[in-house]
A and B are shown apart, each in its own frame.
Chain A
């Protein structure tokens, strides 16, 4: 299962990088969102999958799955949401001011 998830992570990363390299700002934002999905899955798989019970002590289980990656991912999900929201609004404002969603057009003239 872990290897399969890691391969899925690879596929997601490939898609994400390709989108990030695009000139269109919306694709770049989508790319970063997908990249964070990939990273979350990667971190989770690092701790080993399905190796125990849900990390709730009340479950009275022998072993629990690794709780640390879960805590890290929880932080990461929230942060990546904040970043996505910020750059989305940035893109919206940039488009409003500059009239383009093309990164090359946004950088202005060469003789600056």
Chain B
């Protein structure tokens, strides 16, 4: 059964089909066909719930590159199932919504192709057991996100946002890849299952912590954690269905999934606990704090998403303490945080999806998302108003909505963590619930801003581009379903808890099912309830007195943001790259030759010295006869004289001396064929030189400055010495047996008595054929060059 592997491949296949069919379906909106894909997949995954909920896992493998340990292994446990259901479920709702959201001028095939590409990639991320396969899908989600953010690519901001998100997430992804490599070099496997099984032996390994931090880098960049959160607000340039799907419900959860998935590998130590908790809490606070000041509704939602992702991230950090204590009472106590994280992950997708869709409706029907221009919309958009209220109140953590349940659990987890008897929590631990509480106050404030500034107050109809009316029913279905879920989950949370969250918790921390509680809305007057009450009171006060304390946002200087840092980094990167390139790509041929020779000397000569291969052994040499010695001397003198030749005629003749001397050497060294060829070629070459020189000016003395001459001489001597040393080293030892004996059977094998000719004409006949091809091409080149007439003024045309 390869059901799951097929499930991953279906969106990719559908992606490929879209360009083929979109012209053949007439007036039918292609979105309806696309909708079939996530719906069918959702049903497939939903059918797995009964098996998974009793603790089974599905494991399917298709060999891909078995020799490298890279297999397409799909692993479905509770954790993967939740994400898979979110991806396909939200996917269905978003596709449905987008059918009514997109305007006819948009390119549907592109939009749905990218969306399906993303869906397949995201399923691949959450279902892959193999690290490298996971990585490939991970980067594919970044790429499809890039394409979707830049969907309206004629807008400058879209292109900027797309580039920013790609640079930041791929930067993190590459770090993560390095982390995966380290895991592989420690454990020798790419399978997450197998790594979990053996990682216990490697916690003291030198690569354990580097691998951990690199994997976290990938997770933090993807899930928009502080300070990498800056890409998410700019990603809001994407069409709203995309923002609802990728940038709040699914893709940004990939980082959370990664942290949860790697909890059994890395968790249980203080570094993991503190890194994730602190980054999560800072993100939670900073996101909520920044969201309050936003005037664009989508920007507000973007910062709120950052904040909520931080919340879930900090929960995953706090819950990692359970790995330290193992199964038992304390393990169950802290494992609750993981349960809360998973619960909130689902809840966040429902309420944030509903909110994004509501904001999309406002944008679509009113023509603006600017809070300052909106107000009093309740009378015109009552249904949308209902969605916004349900979504916001759930996000604020108010009762009768699912957000209340997971928010209370979050407070429980922070209060528990404050008393954690490990990781050096002690007195500082009290900060955890305090920061969580302050951030939640700001969360409450921006939720109220979202509802009251948009829907209450005086309407400014004159300033709006369109008169607001409710959209067609199709656009309302998806947010309505989400709102029903928001309320439904409040009243029946244990349905989700028992069937999905509990098995997922087992996927994060194996064998700690005791941490999964029965979720109940009311547990008496406890700390958590008072925290919520405090938030409502303080939050309401802050909202009402907003104008008097708004000034604190001016305390942060405008150029002290991470976006400014990012922009100046990109600018400097360009400048430095440009500077370096213009300094070495000079356009001077001698300079390029110099690089080549210096590189040769450094690598070949350097390797010779470093490896200690250098050896000189003169014993095997054959004897030198007197005329051979004389010939060597003649050649050396002729070669050196060329450097000092006053006229080019002398130089050509000296070159001829070299060529003919080599012909004599060939005779001496028993190579009659070479000698003959060399004689002919040398004659032709010398003639050619002389012919050409007739047309070239008499050469002048080298007029380069002395410094250049010395530099060139040094490079030349370095090159000569390197070649000599390599030659001597090779000559003094035999690494491999010669293969030449084979060719001595040339009479039997090729029917030739002249071995050299047999090699050229038979054994290596293709070589010879291609060699004549080279000769032919060179001849063509020569002929064309001579016949080519550069037309008058054609050079000028290019510059006009």
- Give A residues with C-beta under 8 Å from B: 1-24, 26-28, 30, 33-34, 37-38, 40-42, 44-58, 64-68, 70-71, 73-75, 77-79, 81-86, 88-93, 95-97, 101, 103-104, 107-108
Contacts and interface: CB of A to CB of B under 8 A. Distances in A.
26 contacts: A1-B622, A5-B632, A8-B635, A12-B658, A13-B719, A13-B720, A13-B724, A14-B719, A22-B590, A24-B702, A27-B699, A41-B662, A42-B723, A44-B665, A44-B674, A50-B668, A53-B670, A56-B755, A57-B755, A64-B670, A65-B669, A75-B768, A78-B681, A85-B685, A95-B697, A96-B695
Contacts of B621: 1-4
A34 B717 CA distance: 15
Contacts of B712: 17-18, 21-22
Contacts of B590: 21-23, 103-104
Contacts of B720: 10-15, 17
A15 B788 contact: no
B755 to A, nearest CB: 4
A66 B740 contact: yes
Interface in B373-410: none
A44 B699 contact: no
Interface in B750-777: 753-756, 759-760, 764, 767-768, 771, 774-775
B730 A46 contact: yes
Contacts of B626: none
Contacts of B786: 89, 93
B593 interface: yes
B644 to A, nearest CB: 11
A91 B782 CA distance: 11
Most central of A34, A37, A84 by chain B CB within 10 Å? A37
Contacts of A108: 587
A38 B775 CA distance: 21
B171 interface: no
Contacts, number: 263
A89 to B, nearest CB: 5
B623 interface: yes
Contacts of B587: 107-108
Interface residues on B, range: 35 or more
Contacts of A11: 636, 639-640, 720
B727 A74 contact: no
A60 B23 CA distance: 78
Contacts of A26: 648, 651, 693, 696, 699
Interface of B: 587-590, 593-594, 597, 616, 618, 620-624, 628-629, 632, 635-636, 639-640, 642-643, 648, 651-652, 655, 658-659, 662, 665-666, 668-674, 677-678, 681, 684-685, 688-689, 692-693, 695-697, 699-700, 702, 704, 712-713, 715-717, 719-721, 723-724, 727-728, 730-731, 738-740, 743-744, 746-747, 753-756, 759-760, 764, 767-768, 771, 774-775, 778-779, 781-782, 785-786, 788, 790
B677 A78 contact: yes
Contacts of A103: 588-590
B671 A70 contact: yes
Most central of A3, A17, A37, A51 by chain B CB within 10 Å? A17
Contacts of B699: 24, 26-27, 101
A4 B629 contact: yes
Contacts of A6: 724, 727-728, 731
Given A24-B699, A82-B774, A14 B717 contact: yes
Contacts of A91: 692, 696
A106 to B, nearest CB: 8
B719 A17 contact: yes
B738 A66 contact: yes
Nearest to B684: A81
Contacts of B693: 26
B670 A71 contact: no
A12 B635 contact: yes
A92 B717 contact: no
Given A57-B747, A74-B756, A83 B642 contact: no
B771 A49 contact: no
A80 to B, nearest CB: 8
Contacts of B723: 9-10, 13, 38, 42
Contacts of B636: 8, 11
B620 A2 contact: yes
B759 A10 contact: no
A56 to B, nearest CB: 5
B592 to A, nearest CB: 10
Given A45-B731, A68-B743, 17 more contacts: A4-B632, A6-B727, A15-B720, A23-B590, A33-B655, A41-B662, A41-B665, A44-B665, A44-B671, A47-B738, A55-B754, A56-B754, A65-B670, A66-B740, A67-B759, A78-B677, A78-B681
B677 A37 contact: no
B727 A12 contact: no
A98 to B, nearest CB: 10
A21 B670 contact: no
Nearest to B725: A10
A1 B696 CA distance: 40
Contacts of A86: 778, 781-782, 785
B684 A67 contact: no
